[in-house]
Amino acid sequence: MNQRLFILALDGTPFTLLNELLQMGIMPHLKKLTEQSVFKSMDSVLPPVSSSAWASFMTGKTPDQHGIMGFVDRDPATLEWVLPNASHLRSQTLWQKYSAQQKRVFTMNVPVTYPPKPLNGISICGFLGSDIVKGTYPAEIGLLLKARGYRIDADTELAKQDLNLFLNDLFKVLEKRIETLWHFYDQEAWDVFMTHIMETDRLHHFFYEYYEQRDPRFYERFLNMYRRLDALIGEILDRTAPQDALLLLSDHGFTTMKYEVYLNKWLQENTFLSFSKPNPLSLQDLTPQSLAYSLYPGRIYLNVRGREAHGRVEQGIEYEQVRNRLINLLRQLKDPQGNFVVKQVLRREEAYPQAGNTAFTQLPDLIVLPEKGYDFKGNLQHPVLFDKTIFNGTHTADNAFVLAHGLSLPPGELAIDRLGASLFSFFR
Ligand SMILES: [Zn+2]
């Protein structure tokens, strides 16, 4: 009998957090599983956001290769926003490869699977899909899911009203996802079965500091999410066959947020950027004098002549001069307490050494990597450079995790794209 592959994805769950929870006895089933598995930390990709990282998992490629550079991108020729989704993926996915091998595939809630593509099995879209009815293959599954009360994501707007209401909603969405997992598990023959849990990432964005500070208002409910996931892991261990391969993983780490840092505000204060309107709505409101602008997270693009709609920075010497000035100034940037916020500024060719010909048009000219706890926002306008909002956790590019049981991992230091690449040869 052929080996099957069961994948459980916990978005944004840090390796170090799981180790703490294991030591505290919060996750006994996971603990048992780690004793029979390879369990280690893993790097994310640049930038370490869910759409880029899961696209890297599914394609085995880095973001410059698969083409998903974040939640939002820009068309330099028009300076219009582009919202990258599955139709922008430039590389074959695991699901396409397995389908071509006549394997039955089930994927639920995996980011960047919207709009759905045909495969040998079932695809239920995830993050950035807005309408479940249009988000599934085959199409009729969407109506069924809607009728069952299935949702792609919790309502993060609730968090602005009341964090407890938001938590209730988060657990509700998680329960429905787990219920739907077992519904299809029982009903469908499968060779690969992947469920992605977004609720961990959502929990961390709003509650990570409360966990780290043992805040009595939310600490137990934070742990309850992981208690519930541990029960799910126990059920998975009970219900999968002993010879099935199990892969658990996350796509990036998390840490308590120190500050949101509004890079376009910084570019304006340092005369690299100006807008033709007091309340700019898009990059089309950039003045022709602008030298640079930024997109989330920490991506800086120069306003290059011949590339951007009204570009002014000449390619060659001026381009390098502007990049060098930005690098030198950013390295000196400090928060209100006097702490440095920039860990490193990478030039495009340093961040993506293997990038091909399209790189100059599509990739950021600089990537600003934060010290732990800073989040480089891409809002065009913000009243202050440093801010603290309702978000109290932020991503890290390291400290994701992988657990492999019954399958071997590539040797050495692991990143999510290399892990994905190794899975292309799961079935021989
Ligand atoms: Zn996130």
Digit-coded pLDDT (tens) for 10-37: 999 999 999 999 999 999 999 999 999 9
Distance 255 CA to ligand 1 centre (A): 11
Q: What is the pLDDT of residue 358?
A: 64
Q: What is the pLDDT of residue 354?
A: 85
Q: What is the pLDDT of residue 359?
A: 81
Which tokens hold the place of 423?
């899975």
Distance 43 CA to ligand 1 centre (A): 15
Q: What is the pLDDT of residue 130?
A: 81
Distance 318 CA to ligand 1 centre (A): 36
Q: What is the pLDDT of residue 1?
A: 59
Distance 423 CA to ligand 1 centre (A): 24
Q: What is the pLDDT of residue 2?
A: 79
Distance 320 CA to ligand 1 centre (A): 33
What is the per-residue pLDDT across 231-252, written as a single tens digit (0 to 9) for each?
Answer: 999 999 999 999 999 999 999 9
Distance 426 CA to ligand 1 centre (A): 29
Q: What is the pLDDT of residue 127?
A: 84
Distance 204 CA to ligand 1 centre (A): 8
Distance 347 CA to ligand 1 centre (A): 24
Question: 199 Cβ partners below 8 Å, 6+ apart?
Answer: 11, 154, 170, 171, 173, 174, 177, 225
Spatial strand order in the sheet of 299-302: 292-295, 299-302, 366-370, 342-347
Ion ligand 1 neighbours, Cβ < 5 Å:
201
What domains sit in the chain, N to C, each tagged with a CATH number? 5-257+393-423 (3.40.720.10), 259-387 (3.30.1360)
Q: Is the pLDDT of residue 43 over 90?
A: yes
What is the per-residue pLDDT across 165-208, written as a single tens digit (0 to 9) for each?
Answer: 999 999 999 999 999 999 999 999 999 999 999 999 999 999 99
DSSP 8-state assignment for residue 421: H
What is the per-residue pLDDT across 302-351, written as a single tens digit (0 to 9) for each?
Answer: 999 999 998 999 999 999 999 999 999 999 999 999 999 999 999 999 99
Distance 309 CA to ligand 1 centre (A): 31
Distance 428 CA to ligand 1 centre (A): 35
* 362-374 per-residue burial string, b: 16 or more CB within 10 A, e: under 16: bbbbbbbbbeebb
Distance 49 CA to ligand 1 centre (A): 6
Q: Is the pLDDT of residue 129 over 90?
A: no
Distance 12 CA to ligand 1 centre (A): 6
Distance 13 CA to ligand 1 centre (A): 10
Distance 287 CA to ligand 1 centre (A): 32
pLDDT band for position 46 (cuts 50, 70, 90): very high
Distance 203 CA to ligand 1 centre (A): 9
- pTM of the full predicted structure? 0.96
Rounded (5°) CA angle 184-203-158: 95
What is the per-residue pLDDT across 199-213, written as a single tens digit (0 to 9) for each?
Answer: 999 999 999 999 999
Q: What is the pLDDT of residue 230?
A: 98
Question: 219 Cβ partners below 8 Å, 6+ apart?
Answer: 210, 211
CA distance 297 to 109: 23
pLDDT band for position 383 (cuts 50, 70, 90): very high
Distance 277 CA to ligand 1 centre (A): 31
Q: What is the pLDDT of residue 355?
A: 85
